[in-house]
Amino acid sequence: MLKKRIIVCLDVKDGRTTKGVKFLNNVDVGDPVEMAAEYYRQGVDELVFYDIIASARGRGPILDLIHRVASQVFIPFCVGGGIGTLDDIRSTILAGAEKISLNSQAVKNPSLITEGARVFGNQCIVLGMDAKKDPTCPSGYRVYINGGRIKTDLDAREWAVRAVELGAGEIVLNSMDADGTRAGYELDLTRMIVEAVSVPVVASGGGGTPAHLADVLTKGKADAALIASMVHSGEYTIEGIKKDLDKQNIPVRCLSCGCDN
């Protein structure tokens, strides 16, 4: 049985880690380089770095900061925000990323998914998707871009299926309704996307307790759970979360080294 992954997200704005609720009222929570080092020490399985204002400002990734974060961790490291060309993908990988998250730019230029997968491999291209409840959409959820600022015409399930067909090797699915609330993941949304695609799905938005992770990894069928606020606050540690999941017979990676044993 494949082990479930615990992934920490660093939302970065102007060089600092920030966190908000439902994409609003973001506050500074620390230095991303120092935080990456600490989560690696705690045993996190993967790290995700999102520059949350790059696309809105029309600029590329901050390569120096990405390099400094990557130098602190020796686990899969995914970077998103402002990556709009193959050259951006290449330079971000050279800065230390193993995976590239395409969100707004994937919607604006879907061929970037295909070209990125062709050049760098499907395993390198992650679809980042911000979805919000909308009863007018076939699936009940609509896709938003530019950090949740712009509504698109895309249905969440249809876009997920199409992105995988284009070459995405993984999906990080963020519920805008649950984001930052620490009230639990959107289980119905997560399960719907998992059942619609053939690639791993990472649940994001709403993680507040180990019980929430247990729910989304079992009832929601997610391959991994992305967390932020619950560890940024210091209330929980990666080790503590993994121990709790292990007690519930949810397969997690080795507590001591992150391997699959």
Residue 255 belongs to some domain of the structure: no
Instruction: Look at residues 39, 6, 42 and name the one whose alpha carbon lies nearest to residue 257.
Output: 42
Query: Could you say which of 11, 45, 88, 179 is catalytic?
Result: 11
Which pair of structure tokens corresponds to residue 146? 């530019």
Query: Could you say which of 88, 130, 179, 215 is catalytic?
Result: 130
pLDDT digits (tens, 9 = 90+) for 43-90: 999 999 988 777 667 777 889 999 999 999 999 999 999 899 999 999
Residue 257 belongs to some domain of the structure: no
Residue 189 sits in a domain whose CATH number is 3.20.20.70
pLDDT exceeds cutoff 80 at 220: yes
Residue 174 belongs to some domain of the structure: yes
Residue 51 belongs to some domain of the structure: yes
pLDDT exceeds cutoff 60 at 118: yes
If you search the block for the tokens 């719907």, which residue do you land on? Answer: 192
Residue 83 belongs to some domain of the structure: yes
pLDDT tier at 2 (50, 70, 90 boundaries)? confident
Please check whether residue 216 is in contact with residue 241, taking contact to mean a CB–CB distance below 8 angstroms: no
Residue 254 belongs to some domain of the structure: no
Residue 260 belongs to some domain of the structure: no
pLDDT digits (tens, 9 = 90+) for 136-148: 999 999 999 988 8
From residue 10, alpha-carbon distances to 45, 113, 164, 216, 222 in Å are: 14, 23, 25, 20, 20
Count up the domains in the chain and report the number: 1
What's the pTM? 0.92
pLDDT tier at 259 (50, 70, 90 boundaries)? low
For 28, the domain range is 5-247
Give catalytic status of residue 260 as yes or no: no
Give catalytic status of residue 11 as yes or no: yes
pLDDT exceeds cutoff 80 at 173: yes
The amino acid at 97:
A
